[in-house]
Structure formats: structure tokens, C-alpha cells
Structure 1
């Protein structure tokens, strides 16, 4: 059984009747969608939404207002009650722009995870864009072979995506959401045509960074996702301008009607909910800038958004079509990684994992991280041989890798950073406390696997026994095999003081 098959044998595939939950900690609202896996399909059984308005509570220094923080934690506690019987591996909670901008995100995430009862992952803007597109594509299947533009205006950011089928081609995320833009340009509550024109030019400059490339690629239809676009579409319908879409002709009339109010608190648009009155100006402004920059004439509105995309991403992960696999393959090809050496290290790492997992309580997610860490451990060689583990870790942590959350990338980066040489004390600082035990122990397994294959010898290791008991790790090897490899023997003799930095006490036994 090869390493990939071994990884699959330890995974937990979806079974008929399994429940899944996706939680979206957005900058405006928190959403939760609960679905049942039935006959290979997802059936939505519950939806919850609360207007937490996290972005309103974020100050210029990245601090979160206590009242907003308490509101967010109370919401997550209620969500947690609803999903307390769903296994952790069937729940994904994702935090977006507001948490990305926090100066000390762990000060919010730790109590937030306690309130929810599940881990919370922070994702990049481009990963958010991928998941938004996935949700829209499943809700409104695209025409075969045609390109589609999806625009999602959130509370703190706006995502623009071009895709074909269920795959994204271009993804961009801008710091111009409905809350952020309203606060930025109309913080005093006053509206005026002059201020609006200046703001549209400024926001439009953000879209101009990629507008030419998008327009050159083209699309056959444009779709708006999430609450702000749905609200604007509803206003257009209520004003008798469209049947629910947003058009280049209707949008200026919505804007002019909005500006007639003169003040945010006096806005009275047909079809506008009281909840969105305080932020609709920023949403309309961002959409007008997008229409101008991208040359849009019409945008339909989707009921789906990121949370639905998260559910379908989980469906892929649970049915053997994990999108992260494609990303790992792309990285190995882009950086010219020696696939033979990576496979040798991965295979040995999997053998060690199988023996250590029960005692160390490592799970299938740890197995995947170990396998991917093995495939990428030499990525930094494409940059320089000296300190290549440092270069590789930096690339993994700071790249936009489709399918991965920030914590997953930080986990992988820590494995790559610590697989050789001295282990820095700061190697795991970016990880939340809940991931530290498995990250350190998984790193120890990768470190041993990489060391055993330092010579790049393709000969299989005849004996590879591993006994773990708490921090103690006893590695059993064939005495004659090891005797014929003096360099490896010297490396193993010098390894216990090094690996101790991972909280592991290594012993070598030969027979």
C-alpha cells in the first residue's frame, strides 16, 4: 500500500445520514448552515444568521470593541448549542476579513472556539473568494465551458472571481466592504454627491488593479453573492427598475435616491431592511465602482455564498476529492521538488504515523498534514540549499494556497521549518494552542523520516519499529543495516538533543 492509499485508509469518508455544519464568521453577519449528506448529495436542514457586525467594532489599531466581542461570543455559543451533536470533523468554522485584520487574533479566537465548541480557521481573502465561487456554482450551475464573474460584497472586503465550471481562474480580494466603506467615507453620517463622486474614484482605483486583466479574459454572466448584493437587487425590484437583478441603468437611480436622504440615518429606500440602513451606502458605492471598472451591464443575484461553498468543500474532502491535493501537486511541480525523494520520506513518515497515532491520539487531519509536509519538505531547495527549510517554510506560510486555511498553512510551514537542523523556539508560535501537541509530534515524525532518507537511497528500510509512551519515542532499526550506514548512525546519535526541542525524548534501539 502506497502512502496515498495509506492516508486514505485512515480517513473518515462521509456516510449516508451524516450531518455537516459550516459557520461563516463574516464582518457583517455570522451565518451557520447545517446539512445532511443523503444519497451523495447535501440537503440543507437548518440556517442561522445573526447580524454581529464585527467590522463595526474593529478600531484602527486592530483592537475589537468589548461589546462587539461579547455579542460575537454569545452568537457562537448559540450556534454551538445547535451543532453540539455533530462530530468535530464534520464542522468547519471560518473567520474572514475582520479577524484577519486583528492585531492579536488569538485573543478573540481562543474564547470564540470555547463558545462554539469547535476550532475556528482564519482564511485568506483569495481562499474566501474560492469558497464563495464554489457555493454560487453549486447553487446555480454554470453553462458548460462558459466563464462567469462572481462579486461578493461583505462587511469588510469584496471578492471578485472569474471561474469556469466549479473551478476558479482568477481570484481577488479588496479591502472595500459595505461597513468599512461606509465608515471610511461617511463616518460623520452625512451624504453628498461631491463626497460620493470622490469616493467612487478612490474605490474604483482598487478595482482598476485587475480590471483590465478581468475584462480581457471576459465572462458570459455576472452574479452577485451575499447579503449586500441581495439587498441592492431587492431595492431595484422594489423600485420597479428590474425583477431582482442589478443593472447599469438601475444602479444610478438607486444611488440618486439614496443621496436624496442627505444623511445615513435618513435613508429610506424601497425594499431596504432596517438592519442594513446603516451600511447600504457603502455597499451601493462599492458596487457602482465595480460596475464602472469592469464595464458591467447586468448582474444577477445568487442566494448562495461562502457558507454553501464551505459545505461543498467539506463534501469534496469527505469523498476523496480534496481540493488541497491539487494545490500540493501544483506546488511540487512549480518548485521542481524531487518527487522520488518526497515519496520515500512520505512513505516512511506514514509507517511511523501508523505506529504512533494511537498512543499520541493523532487523527486523520494530522496524517494529511504529515503526508503533505513530506511532499513539500524540500520546496526551499528551489531557492537556495543553505537554510532551505527556512525558505520553504516562508513560501508555504505566505502563499495563497487554494483549499488551505491560514492555520493549516502555518501547520505545514512549521513541519517544513523543523524537519532538519536546529529547531527555533518560535517555530510554532503562529499556531493556536489546540494544534500545538499534534503539530510538535507530527513534526517529530517528519524529522525522523527525513533523517532516515538523507542519503536519498531508494532501498527500503528493512525494520522500522516505533514505540511511543508520552514524550518518549523508541525507534527500532536493524543493527546490520544501520552499521553499514555510518553517516546515518552519526546523525541518529546526534539527534536526541535536537528533537528534544519538540518535547520528544528519542531513543534508538537496534537488534
Structure 2
């Protein structure tokens, strides 16, 4: 059956129209628009008028595409920014008016489940492996451990590339003091996550979402953004760490000139890179050398949403 999935996060809103057959997705349309819905939410607690206008414009574009491709059933999932905003009803009403569907402002646990299902659906994973999926978003980062038989544990943390850029990394490039303060907060939240998610049992770490894929593109030295090379890339932890550090310390002008850098990610990739570096280094340390590489997946919560529609309506 054909399904339509929309993932509206803190930084971007994405559409996937896909045909689903036996749990396998075939893309019809896959699009991303950077709308920065969560701009300023960490400080004000509200979605700004400008951010809402950008998001509604993208929703209108997506509504046209969904109709053009047969008006399949739609699931619209909204994550961290809209969870945090006191005026989220304005967002809900605006999306319903444009797409005819109620946006689901999902919990962190549901976000984690969908991310895990989407990430592992297209990766070759042994049944006895314990996989940690990291979904590094604009406002939150999900830690999800599981096997091919299902989830073991999940924890959603309020750290993300937009939230932490606004909170910590004000200078270009950021100062050592800013990096140190952000690193300390990441460590604190990872301690909380580790109390719930058994990081020491992990045998494979998989990263999803734009910060992770951009760090991977940088590590690979790509001449442009090439999803087919990024997806499934397995890199040594030391390589990931080095690439992340490079992006963290790079001035804005140099990041903007990178051929694989999305313009909407330039301002926030430093924070995303620092979060990803801290996570992979922590997992490598606590697994006593068992985890020495990190895998990148181009498939994530968006794929999980599409699969959930097929399960619900198929």
C-alpha cells in the first residue's frame, strides 16, 4: 500500500511518500525543508510567528504533493519543539487546516520506537546483536537499544543541535569555555540516559538524522551530498571523532563552503557534531573496545512513521 509520513522536528520538516510491501519501503517522494520550527523555543517556550509561517508554507507544499500522488493515508508526527511550546495548539490547528490530519505531538518514547524501527529496517543486523540507535535532532536526542526482536530500553534527552547552539555556542567559532560547558551538560545527560539504557551491552551503534549524516559526509570527504555513500557507512570511532571536532572548530564561512553542507544546517552543525562525538566516544569507552566503529543510516523516524501507517491501515 502507499503511505505518506511527515516528520516535523525542531530544525526540519520532512515528507516521505512510499509504497510499502511486506515491511519494505520503496520511495515515491522524499523531501526535506529546513524551517527551524524550534528557533528560540528553548529561551521563550513559544513557537515564533516566523517559524510557524515557514512550517505552514512547507505543509502546504507537502499537501499538494500528497494529493498529486493519490492522497494516501497520512501520519504527521511532531517532536521536540512542539512538545516544549506553550502555544503548540496554534501549530496543531494550522497543520490540520492545511493537511486535513491531526498532528501527533508524540512522546520521547514513541519517537525512540519509531526511530529504531526505521533505522534497523534497512540495515544488515545479526539477530543476536544489541544495537544502539542514536537519533540526534534539533531539540532532542534519543538513545534506543534493541535487537531485531524488539526494543530493550529507550531514553529521550533534551539535547539537540538547535537547542544547544542557542544555549551554549554563541561565538564563531565557539570558544573553549563554551565547548567545555556544553560537553559537561552532554555528559550529565548521557549519565541519565545510561541509567536507563544499557550502553555497556551494546555491540553496534547506529546514528541517524542530519547532524550524523553531515559528520559522515565530512569524514568521507564527499564532493557533494551523496546519500547512497553515506547510508550504511561504517567508520572507526576515531575517524568520526576527528571529523566532528573539525566541524566544531570550523568558522561559519568554511562550513558554508563545504559541498555537502545543507544551508539550513550551517549554524547548528557544530553543536550536532559535538553531541555525536561525545556519544560515540562514551560508547566505545564503556564497551571495553567491543564497539570500535559507528554506522550511519539515512533511514530513521520518517521510515518508521511510514511503516506504522502501513501497520495501522494495511
**TM-score bucket (shorter structure):** 0.7 to 0.9
Give the TM-score, by structure 2 length: 0.86
Structure 2 CA distance for aligned equivalents of residues 22 and 122 of structure 1: 14
Once structures 1 and 2 are overlaid, which stretch shifts more, 246-255 or 308-317? 246-255
SS of aligned partner of 1:64: coil
Distance 1:99 1:246, change over 3 A: farther
Deviation, structure 1 residue 236: 0.7
Find the counterpart in structure 1 of residue 226 from structure 2. Answer: none
Matched, 1:184 2:167: yes
Find the counterpart in structure 2 of residue 143 from structure 1. Answer: 126
Find the counterpart in structure 2 of residue 248 from structure 1. Answer: 237
Provide the aligned length of Structure 1 versus Structure 2. 298
Structure 2 CA distance for aligned equivalents of residues 302 and 172 of structure 1: 19
SS of aligned partner of 2:211: helix
Task: Pick the structure with greater CA Rg.
Answer: 1
Once structures 1 and 2 are overlaid, which stretch shifts more, 28-37 or 98-107? 28-37
Deviation, structure 1 residue 116: 1.9
2:108 is matched with which residue: 101, 106, 125?
A: 125
Once structures 1 and 2 are overlaid, which stretch shifts more, 270-279 or 163-172? 270-279
SS of aligned partner of 1:146: coil
| Structure with the largest fraction of strand | 2
| Structure with the largest fraction of helix | 1
Deviation, structure 1 residue 212: 5.6
Unaligned runs of 5+ in 1: 1-17, 320-511
1:96 is matched with which residue: 75, 79, 86?
A: 79
Distance 1:114 1:163, change over 3 A: same
SS of aligned partner of 2:142: strand
Matched, 1:282 2:271: yes
Unaligned runs of 5+ in 2: 224-228, 285-290
2:261 is matched with which residue: 269, 273, 294?
A: 273
| 8 Å CA contact 1:236, 1:245 repeated in 2 | no
Distance 1:270 1:297, change over 3 A: farther
Find the counterpart in structure 2 of residue 314 from structure 1. Answer: 309
Distance 1:52 1:293, change over 3 A: same
Structure 1 CA distance for aligned equivalents of residues 163 and 243 of structure 2: 20
1:86 is matched with which residue: 71, 80, 84?
A: 71
Find the counterpart in structure 1 of residue 137 from structure 2. Answer: 154
Give the TM-score, by structure 1 length: 0.54
Structure 1 CA distance for aligned equivalents of residues 87 and 298 of structure 2: 33
Higher relative contact order (CA 8 A, sep 6+): 2
Runs of 4 or more consecutive aligned structure 1 residues displaced over 3 Å after TM superposition: 37-42, 212-217, 242-247, 258-261, 263-272
